[in-house]
Amino acid sequence: MSDRLQVRAHPTPAPRGPATATPETVHPLAAVCAAFVLAQLVLAVPGSGLGWDETVYTSQVAAHVPAAFFSAPRARGVSLLAAPVAGLTSSTAALRVYLAVLSGAGLFVSLRVWRPLLPARVLALAGGLFAGLWITLLYGSQVMPNLWSAYGALAAVGCLLRAARDRTDRAALAGLAAAVALVGLMRPPDAVWLVLPLAGAALTVRRWRRPALFAVLAAGLFAGCAEWVVEAYVRYGGLTARLHRASAIEGGLGLHFSVDDQIRALDGRTLCRPCDVPWRHRADSAWWFALPVLAAGGAATAWRGRRASVWLPLLTAGSLAVPYLFTVGYAAPRFLLPAYALLAIPVAECLCRLVRGSGGRLRPRTAALVALVLCGHLAVQGGVLLTAVAGNRQARGHYDAMAARLHANGVRPPCVLSGDSAVPLAFYTGCASRQTAGADRSITVPGLVAAAGHRPVAVLVAPGARAPAFARHWRSAVLAPGSGSAAYRAYIRP
């Protein structure tokens, strides 16, 4: 580890700014976070519905629907986050607004941690860069764990740097434990990939070698992942068994080159599996290629007093990105949100250095050019966001129509759905979802037939597919249109 990563072990003034945040230095951060919330409420929230994964997470705490099958890779952190609203109302709009506001507060807290380390203008720009991504705007109000894992990672790196900088900063130690625990609650594998570079840095940099730092990292990791590990022994027969099951559900974790998959998914796809689509909208991913260059530039040219505050986020971002770029055989843009949140710090540092130069004096022409490029970037991100939101609204329309047809055919709570798309449709209809095959296998065919004796049971069949043998003599009903003249069908036990 380079000496550039070293910081003083005793309290020292933060470079180019006070160590304590005054209202004037907090206002830019608050403004960015408020704009982030407002953009979600205007662009992403209206008319949106819960996606497949969201219905799984929400059903675990919702009072109006049975809990869906919870597969081995999932963790329950985001369900707990949604519980205060999902447990009281079935309103998707209320849940969206709650999470949008909460995501703005989360962004503020995770940036505010960094204020003793970096100037307010750098943090405000970093927050704006991260919040301006279509991925961040889309998932801010969604019941998904990745954004909260990003907030935890961003706060954890900042807290570790503060604790290393000032050994009397007990708030930083507590924040470090809480941030790592948050990541563990949301995405246990992310917590492991987060702790590795932080512990490595604390071990490598002589002045950072404090038993307290290692103890806090271990305590946060244990607290965050404890529920997931305990559940592994209760439901799966052990941690190794759960990891194997999770790998099988993910398509087999191993050596996979998914960099190109992630690039192709940046045109508004929330999931690219299998990602064998052509790379058409290349302008939508131009920022992705600029990101590592600007981040490296920020790390290389950072002010001497804050080099550690720029280098460590860069290294940690790389650690968090590795599993999703090289071990998963498909792509989802949300997977890289923790890396994007951390890379926003060195990128903001790079842009500030371009605008102000080594002497700190403003370069008007360069500032105007940077502002113009950022406006174009935000325009592209907004266009992709609208595409993704339109797809979400269209999916909600289909689910609503199919649920209405099921209700019209007598499939009402308490009811059971099985077959294709049973998980999200069960949420929209208020039914339980049970499968006789696949990863779920929560019911057998005789058990499903027996259940039809005392509650409505329907088997869903995708357009062009055949009904399973045991349901072919059941009454069939056409649901919402599929592609062309094909349509989803429900086979309902008389």
Strands 487-492 and 457-461: antiparallel
Across the chain, what does the average pLDDT equal? 92
Measured N-to-C along each axis, helices 170-186 and 211-235 cross at an angle, to the nearest 10 degrees, of 20
Phi, psi of 381, rounded to the nearest 5 degrees: -65, -40
Which token pair is 9? 């072990």
417 pairs with which residues across the strands?
433, 458
Report the Cα 330 to chain-centroid distance in Å: 16
For residues 180-208, one letter each, b for 16 or more C-beta atoms within 10 angstroms of the residue's C-beta and e for the rest, the string is bbbbbbbbbbbbebbbebbbebbeebebb
Q: Distance between CA 399 and CA 92 in Å, rounded?
A: 13
Q: Distance between CA 435 and CA 451 in Å, rounded?
A: 13
Q: Please tell me the predicted confidence (pLDDT) of residue 361.
A: 86
Name the band, by pLDDT with cuts 50, 70 and 90, for residue 160.
very high
Q: Distance between CA 420 and CA 397 in Å, rounded?
A: 17
Which token pair is 79? 């369900």
**Which stretches within 286-363 are classed as H helix?**
286-301, 308-326, 337-356
User: Is 2 a residue whose pLDDT tops 80?
Assistant: no
Q: Please tell me the predicted confidence (pLDDT) of residue 10.
A: 39
> What percent of the chain is predicted at pLDDT more than 70?
94
Q: Please tell me the predicted confidence (pLDDT) of residue 442.
A: 87
13 secondary structure, DSSP code: P
Q: Distance between CA 314 and CA 304 in Å, rounded?
A: 16
Q: Distance between CA 122 and CA 103 in Å, rounded?
A: 20
What average pLDDT score do residues 24-43 get?
Answer: 92
Q: Which of 219-228, 353-362, 430-439 has the lowest mean pLDDT?
A: 353-362
Number of Cβ within 10 Å of residue 4's Cβ equals: 15
Q: What is the pTM of this model?
A: 0.93
Q: Please tell me the predicted confidence (pLDDT) of residue 16.
A: 39
Torsion of CA 44, 50, 54, 55, to 10 degrees: 170
| CB-based contacts of 223-228 (< 8 A; 24+ apart in sequence) | 223/177, 223/181, 223/184, 224/77, 224/180, 224/181, 224/182, 224/183, 224/184, 224/185, 224/188, 224/191, 225/184, 225/188, 225/191, 226/184, 227/75, 227/76, 227/185, 228/75, 228/76, 228/184, 228/188
Measured N-to-C along each axis, helices 286-301 and 364-408 cross at an angle, to the nearest 10 degrees, of 130
Q: Distance between CA 201 and CA 428 in Å, rounded?
A: 47
